[in-house]
Amino acid sequence: MWYGRGPQENYPDRKSGYRTGVYRMSVYEMYEPYLIPQDYGLRTDNRWVRITDKDGTGLEFRGDKLFNFNAHPYSPDNLTKALYTYQLKPFDGVTFNFDYATSGVGCTAAGVFPQYQVMPQRFDFIVTIKPLGK
């Protein structure tokens, strides 16, 4: 569950069509079947995100500024090495990426516009992690 843009994946340069609200979705429902497997499912402009099991036990993440996240049931190694979607194998866990800044995805013709590129620099960002459940 998260409070940010959604419910579909959205990126810094492709988010204006997605409303800010509270959304609930499993990591399996967040899957985006790209032709070639790759990192996917970013959600932008979040105030908080909760990663829980079916009983509500888990963690809540907050930041002092808006942040981005994605989550999927594949290991980073599996997602990186798979050439075809049938090679993606869920593992016993969840890969959760919590990002203060993420570059846009751009387009084939023009690449990522400068205002959506994240360059190396110092960021000051406070993260709060709270346990949930029993």
pTM assigned to the model? 0.91
Give the pLDDT of residue 134: 74
> Which DSSP category does 73 fall into?
S
Give the pLDDT of residue 31: 94
Kindly list the domain boundaries of the chain, sorted by start residue: 2-132
Q: List pLDDT tens digits, range 102-112.
A: 998 887 778 88
Average pLDDT over the chain reads 94
Q: Which of 121, 120, 116 is nearest to 15 (CA)?
A: 116
Q: List pLDDT tens digits, range 79-98.
A: 999 999 999 999 999 999 99
**Could you tell me the fold of the domain covering 2-132?**
Beta-galactosidase; Chain A, domain 5 (2.70.98)
Helix count and strand count (H, E) for the chain: 1, 6
Over pLDDT 90: what percentage of the chain? 84
Over pLDDT 70: what percentage of the chain? 100
Determine contact, residues 70/41, Cβ cutoff 8 Å: yes
Question: Per-residue pLDDT for 53 more than 80?
Answer: yes
Sort residue 31 into left (φ over 0), alpha (ψ -120 to 50) or beta.
beta
The 3-state DSSP class for residue 81 equals helix
Per-residue pLDDT band at 52 (split at 50, 70, 90): very high
Cα 20 to chain centroid distance, Å, stands at 15
> Which DSSP category does 13 fall into?
T
Determine contact, residues 100/125, Cβ cutoff 8 Å: yes
